[in-house]
Chain A
């Protein structure tokens, strides 16, 4: 019969018995071991048979350790302790020794005992009734809704949920702040997580309202910062909400007066934050994000603001993402972008402005790419895969670890520790080659600022730090004085004054005129640049890892400081002729740009006037 083959029992080999005996200090002969083995098998089967009775009466489908122990207890055998957990026990094999064992993790009792986030007991057992079938017919659906956690929420939690959502989405900014702060620190809202995630997923329905979108993103930020929440698979949902804000041509962006750029900046920063802190919760997340970003980027039909978002997203994912997605596409993308930027017609003004934004974003991204490549000359290739080293470095890579910088997107505070070793692979494209290519596109606007040491820089982080790269090959030092920072990321100032203690340390510039800010940065640039450049020149390919501090800060273009804080001064280019035509025109563009009044009401903005 067919089932004859199936009727196999697990048998315990005599070797096992002997081994056990040995461990107990007894020598067994083969015969004895064989007999014992057979007996053990029988006893085990008997106990298993008996335990099935307990299973049946417990009205379960799966036999548990508890059932087995009951059977043992009733046959006067000591129960086996320590296997009561409902979680599956991983059974590992040690290949070298042909050894199989159950993995036992050590539990730090001290930690367990002193843990402050004591898990709340699971919800109270309750009985719910619902009419499943009326008159035995009608709804062919089964048994009503699966009991969701909402019915289980205690009144307190429900109240909390209502209050918080109302506060965050409501009008009172003070209340909102308090609510967000609590969301960030409350240890007891785990049960509400799905609801907040659901609320956040409402971004799609409020895409016309920047303010609401912003608030929803703030909720996301608070949630991911809450150390007591285990986001689990909700990460995906959060990321898709955030990506929506980053990439989608929001309804709000139809009106050029809406500062959706800021929103995108902020969302991209969040994306980066989520990814670096929670990215390991979802496997393949990195590639998923990369793919979706790439899809947007290569789609010429998409509006520029989407492209802008994609570039920001890539930037947020790290320079390797930039290298493996943006950089290869740059050539094709460039032609499209240039077409936009070259069109001086009035009707194109808005689009062109958008184009400038994209241009700026790309520039920021590739600058960091260059910088990082320069920093880690050997780490050219592994940008393809976000390996452990990448994730492990997240604290350094992620600027958002610093709570002070929370509103300043794009502050690339890469304080790479000197010792961090990346797997060394030969870079696909050498740095000079890459630089050359990029220079073709950006010309002198490709500026990378290198900082050494943290001394004077740390205090200046967050303030206007203009970056530029010295064109090592072509730029003579004497040009320095003329060279104003082309790419300028200005620090946000006004809204952070309330929150950021750091703002106390730095000179307050909000009301200062453009010229002041400009002169400050200019002067600073002016006298420091040569020395840094020196360092850079010497150390670019040297083994000594310089300390980078590359800060791109958004600039608050608030009510009080209308317009840009500084203008871009572009130097006359006198390099080789292969430098793109556009690069030479940039200063013109920069100058012709009107003071940007339209970007008002944004809390922070990555302001990249070019």
Chain B
């Protein structure tokens, strides 16, 4: 059997990974340090956390309280039976004050001991035990005492009495929570389920976290936000959703199921519609046990929800919460939200709506500050003496005048170094082979015949329809020169078709190859086995649906990623599998070759994207940071960056060199299924299940366009060769063409916008829509512009 996801995720987080501080090992490390430093000072809080740890991690529901070592404390608890939900307030408040200090000390010590033991820190445990004069048995007998809900409530009140230790307690408790990691191997999950306790501790300041009051808190805040000035209201309204989620989870975690349900019923309707999907998941969660291992919950727990609020609005909120002594909410804000405060005008509702929607709120502003070299690499200079003649021969009547400037422009393009381009050798790239050069020459020749597209000159569309694809077409790719077509199918096969008259042939068997005259000029032709010539080849090897396919730029290889957790490299010379790259261990949703070959990227259900090189069986980089599955991965044209789209509704841009996340784009309201870079590398287009296509300026890290027209998931996006037209293909059986030039022109990138990231998008994206082209009954899965700017689309016909 497979180890649980969380564990593998942890294992996957190799030391190589260098990015967000959210990864599990970091957290663990922090935790331990904190324990060491704080266990002496903030005992009061720790005992609480320990009691919770035992509560969750032992299945021993003995209920009764063994009261030998517990002193006054245990005596006080003994009266409370272990019957769950809310303990009567009467029982909690008059906790035995006098006995408190001693009891707390003892319990704290016990807690620390327990933690140490759990963490296999035997030595420290021993030392501490000796110093405190504890015997093992006392501790054992004490620990189950914390299990019942009653004592917990009492502890809460004590924490309150102890005062002021909130923050530290939180830190420690999360530490305590994280401790069973080595043993239980469920780090994030445990963190996730234990963190609500942290809030519970904090909530004890005023109302002891009375579940009945939650609604009151929430509606109090709601009233306040509804009454503030209009300009602040939109900003503060962002608070609703994270608060709602966290309060609900707290209720659920603390076994206040009925209250939680009522709370959900009462307020879920107020949430923005784009959180529907998450709310649906949330609504399923009605028991504490369910929170264990629920991925969505994990996301809420492990990451802070990021809100961008102007300073004025924030002050307003802060003042309100302090006035009202609304510590419950305040603590959530402190604990689980990251409020990114900016100076200046509060944002409008439209501005906010454009940017929010992701699982963890907006991106922090500093996340998009890093410099990105989005320029293109300098093209290697290839002399084209032989085909100059060809060209001349071809267009004899063509004016020689015209040809010269064309050549010049081409030459100058490659000679001039783009100021935004990365250093040529920032990423080691494979050397050009002769065949690559030939291909480049072909490309250039074709490019001269390219149709200049524009609003008045739309591309012709050819549709490649997969017929009888009853086994389910799941992925399509085409070679850059549009000669080969690969389809990944749900029956775990990969099929390759040639779409030119040139048939697919494999190389002869080794024995036959020996007979060939290696000196002959046409040796490359001779090695091919004419008997194997066919229009299509089937590649068998995967053991699950193939979700991603990608041709290498030199057309010698094909990559496929599948549900079986592997990525396979196929040779298009022999039509056999060369390598199976294992590492994801979970379905791999997408893979793509670098535009320069050699490298490739993959992303999958394990929430990370990986960079591989074809000659390494292990990944070179692991890009971790997405809070949910990585749905699609694309290389930047200069091969220095990788964009990933995720079902956490964010797009991230990663630096291949150091693995850093250099851009986080939020604004999509659904999982992102398609990505494409503009040919000049400046822009990124992304499509999601909500049918919207968003355009991003990579250099500034800004959203620059929102294209709304599709009615279903956008599965395919592609810029025309010169970047004037963006084509989008969708599940709604349409191909739509957008005026990309106009989108880019309309963008005013003044300094303010760039600094704040507050964009004003035009209301109506219909102006950009150049055309809508229906298929009969074929969802569009792939789009491709030929070198001459003919648009090729592909998809499987779905009989009605």
Q: Give Cα A57–Cα B545 distance, bound, in whole angstroms.
A: 9
A136 near B737 (CB under 8 angstroms)?
yes
Q: Give Cα A46–Cα B536 distance, bound, in whole angstroms.
A: 40
Q: Give Cα A53–Cα B547 distance, bound, in whole angstroms.
A: 12
B286 near A38 (CB under 8 angstroms)?
yes
Which residue, of A3, A9, A46, A61, has the highest number of chain B Cβ atoms within 10 A? Answer: A46
Q: Contact flags (1/0) for B550-583 with A, using CB distance below 8 Å?
A: 0000000000000100000000000000000000
Known A42-B287, A46-B294; contact A144-B468, beta-carbon cutoff 8 A: no
Interface residues of B in 688-705 (CB under 8 A from A): 689
B residues in contact with A128, CB < 8 Å: 464-465, 467
Known A42-B286, A142-B776; contact A135-B460, beta-carbon cutoff 8 A: yes
B residues in contact with A54, CB < 8 Å: 545, 563, 587
Instruction: Point out the residue from B287, B489, B495, B673 that lies within 8 Å of A56, measured CB to CB.
Output: B673
B459 on interface, CB distance cutoff 8 Å: yes
A74 on interface, CB distance cutoff 8 Å: yes
B467 near A147 (CB under 8 angstroms)?
yes
B774 on interface, CB distance cutoff 8 Å: yes
The residue on B at minimum CB distance from A66 is: B490
B residues in contact with A60, CB < 8 Å: 472
Q: Give Cα A42–Cα B289 distance, bound, in whole angstroms.
A: 10
Instruction: Point out the residue from B280, B464, B544, B798 that lies within 8 Å of A127, measured CB to CB.
Output: B464
Known A45-B284, A76-B2; contact A135-B458, beta-carbon cutoff 8 A: yes
Known A42-B285, A49-B284; contact A1-B269, beta-carbon cutoff 8 A: yes
Interface residues of A in 82-110 (CB under 8 A from B): none
The residue on B at minimum CB distance from A137 is: B458
Q: Give Cα A214–Cα B468 distance, bound, in whole angstroms.
A: 37
A3 near B269 (CB under 8 angstroms)?
yes
A residues in contact with B771, CB < 8 Å: 133, 136-137
A147 near B797 (CB under 8 angstroms)?
yes
The residue on A at minimum CB distance from B276 is: A3
Interface residues of A in 131-162 (CB under 8 A from B): 131-137, 142-144, 146-147, 151-152
Q: Contact flags (1/0) for A111-124 with B, using CB distance below 8 Å?
A: 00000000000111
A126 on interface, CB distance cutoff 8 Å: yes
Instruction: Point out the residue from B563, B773, B798 that lies within 8 Å of A132, measured CB to CB.
Output: B773
A residues in contact with B443, CB < 8 Å: none
A125 near B284 (CB under 8 angstroms)?
no
B461 near A131 (CB under 8 angstroms)?
yes
B residues in contact with A38, CB < 8 Å: 286-287
Q: Give Cα A121–Cα B497 distance, bound, in whole angstroms.
A: 21
B462 near A132 (CB under 8 angstroms)?
yes
Instruction: Point out the residue from A59, A124, A129, A135 that lies within 8 Å of B464, measured CB to CB.
Output: A129
A39 on interface, CB distance cutoff 8 Å: yes
B586 on interface, CB distance cutoff 8 Å: yes
A129 near B284 (CB under 8 angstroms)?
no
Interface residues of B in 456-502 (CB under 8 A from A): 457-474, 485, 487, 489-490, 495, 497, 499
Binds A, one of B220-228, B745-753, B777-785: B777-785
B residues in contact with A1, CB < 8 Å: 269-270
A residues in contact with B797, CB < 8 Å: 146-147
A131 near B462 (CB under 8 angstroms)?
yes
A residues in contact with B673, CB < 8 Å: 56
A residues in contact with B2, CB < 8 Å: 76
Known A76-B1, A143-B774; contact A59-B462, beta-carbon cutoff 8 A: no
A59 near B458 (CB under 8 angstroms)?
no
A127 near B490 (CB under 8 angstroms)?
no
B713 on interface, CB distance cutoff 8 Å: yes
Known A130-B462, A137-B458; contact A123-B467, beta-carbon cutoff 8 A: yes
B265 on interface, CB distance cutoff 8 Å: yes
Q: Give Cα A398–Cα B268 distance, bound, in whole angstroms.
A: 68
Size of the chain A interface, CB-CB below 8 angstroms: 46
A594 on interface, CB distance cutoff 8 Å: no
Q: Give Cα A123–Cα B799 distance, bound, in whole angstroms.
A: 14
B290 on interface, CB distance cutoff 8 Å: yes
B residues in contact with A135, CB < 8 Å: 457-460
The residue on B at minimum CB distance from A148 is: B467
The smallest beta-carbon distance between B647 and chain A, in angstroms, is 7
B438 on interface, CB distance cutoff 8 Å: no
A125 near B471 (CB under 8 angstroms)?
yes
B713 near A126 (CB under 8 angstroms)?
no
A58 near B545 (CB under 8 angstroms)?
yes
Q: Give Cα A42–Cα B269 distance, bound, in whole angstroms.
A: 21
Instruction: Point out the residue from B284, B470, B770, B781 that lies within 8 Å of A59, measured CB to CB.
Output: B781
The residue on B at minimum CB distance from A70 is: B563
A58 near B461 (CB under 8 angstroms)?
no
A59 near B473 (CB under 8 angstroms)?
yes
A4 on interface, CB distance cutoff 8 Å: yes
Known A49-B281, A123-B468, A146-B776; contact A58-B463, beta-carbon cutoff 8 A: no
The residue on A at minimum CB distance from B273 is: A3
Known A39-B289, A128-B464, A152-B468; contact A53-B647, beta-carbon cutoff 8 A: yes
B589 on interface, CB distance cutoff 8 Å: yes
Q: Give Cα A76–Cα B2 distance, bound, in whole angstroms.
A: 8
Known A53-B647, A137-B458; contact A130-B466, beta-carbon cutoff 8 A: no
B671 on interface, CB distance cutoff 8 Å: yes
Known A39-B289, A53-B629, A143-B775; contact A136-B499, beta-carbon cutoff 8 A: no
A residues in contact with B490, CB < 8 Å: 58, 66
A7 on interface, CB distance cutoff 8 Å: yes
A127 near B463 (CB under 8 angstroms)?
no
Instruction: Point out the residue from B465, B466, B467 that lies within 8 Å of A143, measured CB to CB.
Output: B465
B589 near A57 (CB under 8 angstroms)?
yes
B191 on interface, CB distance cutoff 8 Å: no
A residues in contact with B544, CB < 8 Å: 70
Q: Give Cα A3–Cα B283 distance, bound, in whole angstroms.
A: 13
Q: Give Cα A39–Cα B287 distance, bound, in whole angstroms.
A: 8
B665 on interface, CB distance cutoff 8 Å: no
Instruction: Point out the residue from B4, B290, B468 that lies within 8 Å of A125, measured CB to CB.
Output: B468
Q: Give Cα A42–Cα B774 distance, bound, in whole angstroms.
A: 40
The residue on B at minimum CB distance from A139 is: B773
B589 near A144 (CB under 8 angstroms)?
no
The smallest beta-carbon distance between B768 and chain A, in angstroms, is 15
A residues in contact with B4, CB < 8 Å: 76
Instruction: Point out the residue from A3, A59, A127 that lies within 8 Å of B497, measured CB to CB.
Output: A127
The residue on A at minimum CB distance from B498 is: A127
B715 on interface, CB distance cutoff 8 Å: yes
B residues in contact with A142, CB < 8 Å: 773-776
Q: Contact flags (1/0) for B716-727 with A, using CB distance below 8 Å?
A: 000000000000
The residue on A at minimum CB distance from B285 is: A42
The smallest beta-carbon distance between A140 and chain B, in angstroms, is 8
A residues in contact with B268, CB < 8 Å: 4, 7
Q: Give Cα A129–Cα B535 distance, bound, in whole angstroms.
A: 14
B284 near A46 (CB under 8 angstroms)?
yes
A residues in contact with B647, CB < 8 Å: 53
A residues in contact with B285, CB < 8 Å: 42
Given contacts A3-B269, A125-B469, A125-B470, 20 further A-B contacts (CB under 8 A): A42-B285, A42-B286, A49-B284, A54-B545, A57-B474, A57-B547, A76-B1, A76-B2, A76-B4, A124-B468, A125-B487, A127-B464, A127-B497, A129-B462, A129-B464, A131-B462, A133-B460, A133-B773, A134-B460, A143-B776
Point out residues on A near B: beta carbons under 8 Å.
Answer: 1, 3-4, 7, 9, 38-39, 42, 45-46, 49, 53-54, 56-61, 66, 70, 74, 76, 122-137, 142-144, 146-147, 151-152
A-B contact pairs, 23 of them (CB 8 A): A42-B285, A46-B290, A49-B281, A53-B647, A54-B563, A56-B689, A56-B713, A57-B474, A58-B472, A58-B545, A59-B474, A60-B472, A76-B1, A125-B468, A125-B495, A127-B487, A131-B460, A132-B462, A135-B457, A135-B460, A136-B460, A151-B467, A152-B468
Point out residues on B near A: beta carbons under 8 Å.
Answer: 1-2, 4, 265, 268-270, 280-281, 283-287, 289-290, 294, 457-474, 485, 487, 489-490, 495, 497, 499, 536, 544-545, 547, 563, 586-587, 589, 605, 629, 631, 647, 671, 673, 689, 713, 715, 731, 737, 770-771, 773-779, 781, 793-794, 797-798
